Amino acid sequence: MSDIARLTEVIEPEANALGFDLVRVKMMPSEAGDGGQALQIMAEDPATGQLIIDQCAALSRRVSDRIDALEEAGEMLIEGAYHLEVSSPGIDRPLTRAKDFANWAGHETKIAMDKSWDGQRTLRGILEGIANGPGGDTVTITDRKAGKVSVPREMIHSAQLVLTDALIAATQPLDTSGADDFVETEEEADD
């Protein structure tokens, strides 16, 4: 099991050095079907809310070099085989930071909680925002069924924007710079 907090401590300065904000660090099973893991890093350029391909590649190189250096010095950050995935958060982005809940207020959101809160385990509706109180941050959403619900942020397992016409209209057009520079080639099978 990898320590996500430690990985975040390692990765965030690398993202910041390139002028990016780290959105999420997550370990997940590899989609390659090889039994390995994927280290997923989502980051954004604060000016655009996204990363273009060249920015993803630059962050991937920095993070890879930093993890390699730490492992050569004896710190094992990730056990077993893994591959690195660096991406932009996309339009229907995860909401992970307090500023995400503030910036995306007014948009439809899905929230899944660690445990049931007021009889609800999942909420879907319009995100009202976030407030900081004596007990910590509280996220408020107007759920389709339960009405207005306020949940302590630490109870939220995951939150994500829902792709709607309003969200598309509020989002900058995706920058596809560099996408045409990639050439797909077929790999020859080993005989």
Contacts of residue 157, defined as CB under 8 A and 6 or more positions apart, other chains included, come to: 112, 113, 114
Tokens encoding 90: 């996309």
Whether the CA torsion 68, 70, 74, 75 is positive or negative: it is negative
Residue 106 lies in a domain: yes
Residue 118 sits in a domain whose CATH number is 2.30.30.100
Domain-located, residue 190: no
83 and 114 belong to one structural domain = no
Least confident span in 9-13, 46-50, 56-60, 62-66? 46-50
How many separate domains does the chain show?
2
Return the DSSP state at 94.
Answer: B
Mean pLDDT of 132-146: 90
Residue that is last in its domain, among 87, 106, 137: 87
Q: For the chain, what is the mean pLDDT? A: 88
pLDDT of residue 131: 94
How much of the chain, in percent, has pLDDT values that exceed 90?
70
Q: Are residues 65 and 126 in the same domain?
A: no
CATH of the domain at 47: 3.30.300.70
Q: Report yes or no on 189 lying in a domain.
A: no
115 domain-assigned: yes
Of the two residues 173 and 155, the one the predictor is more confident about is: 155
d(C-alpha 4, C-alpha 21), whole Å: 17
Q: Is residue 177 part of a domain?
A: no
Identify the pLDDT of residue 177. 57
Domain extent at residue 166 = 98-170
Query: Is there a domain that residue 186 lies in?
Result: no
Structure token pair of residue 66: 């930093």
Does a structural domain hold residue 187?
no
166 close to 107: Cβ distance less than 8 angstroms: yes
The yes-or-no verdict on residue 22 having pLDDT over 90 is: yes
Average confidence (pLDDT) over 170-181:
62
**120 falls in which pLDDT band (50, 70, 90)?**
confident
Is residue 160 assigned to a domain? Answer: yes
- With cut-offs at 50, 70 and 90, classify the pLDDT of residue 80: confident
| DSSP code for 35 | S
Co-location of 108 and 146 in the same domain: yes
* 114 and 164 assigned to the same domain: yes
